[in-house]
Amino acid sequence: MEHIGCAYSSKYVKSLINMRLSDQFIQSLESKLRHFENLLLCKSLFPYRHSQYLDDIKNVKIRNIFTRLRVNNNKLMAYCHKGDGLCSHCQVPETASHFLFTCSSGQLPKIRKKFEQSIKNIAPVFGTENIDDKLSIVLSLNFSWQEAIKIACSYVKDMYNHRFKVNRNP
């Protein structure tokens, strides 16, 4: 790059431009995320960095389910903008937290109970958390043990697959 009468090096100018673009991207993303239910979970993305769950989940289909639940881009009624956004079984907003931790539709309670029993054996403190904290822990795979991560992945996959299999074949 030619010198254009500037007292700053081209490396310095490039780093300032990159920093400014990064800041603008983060500010833009933060303003869009303010509307999401699980903002606290999404805040783990700031400042921009790679989310660990992307490395922890090897199966692409399961990683896709986690990502869709994390960013509220999924088939749950509260996010798909069809109808009133209510769970067809419970008549409350069908959010990720409702779906994973309180919905009583079909086999979901049985799958949930199996998960909670398995996870309490490995991480007893999980049973004392409130629903929002449980959602954050499960969707970010914030567990110390690899076995707990496998159990959480299996749980979310089973819940998602059962929920949408049931609705496809009423």
Domain boundaries, the chain: 50-168
Kindly report, residue by residue over 95-146, the tens digit of the pLDDT.
999 999 999 998 999 999 999 999 888 877 777 888 888 888 888 888 778 8
Question: What pLDDT was estimated at residue 166?
Answer: 42
Dist CA 65 CA 62 (whole Å): 5
pTM across the whole model: 0.65
pLDDT for 37: 47
The strand pairing partners of 86, in sequence order, are: 93
- Residues 2-58 have pLDDT tens digits of 545 556 667 767 777 877 777 777 777 766 655 554 555 555 555 555 677 788 888
Reported in sequence order, the residue ranges of the chain that DSSP labels E, i.e. its strands, are none
Count Cβ neighbours within 10 Å for each residue of 15-37 and write b for 16 or more, e otherwise: eeeeeeeeeeeeeeeeeebeeeb
Amino acid sitting at position 122: I
Q: Please, which contacts does 164-168 make with residues 24 or more away whose CB atoms are closer than 8 Å?
A: 164/75, 166/105, 166/106, 166/107, 167/88
Residues linked to residue 93 through DSSP beta bridges, in sequence order: 86
Long-range contacts of 42-45 (CB under 8 A, 24+ apart): 42/70, 42/71, 44/140
pLDDT band at 156 (very low <50, low <70, confident <90, very high): very high
Burial class (CB in 10 A: 0-12, 13-18, 19+), 141: buried
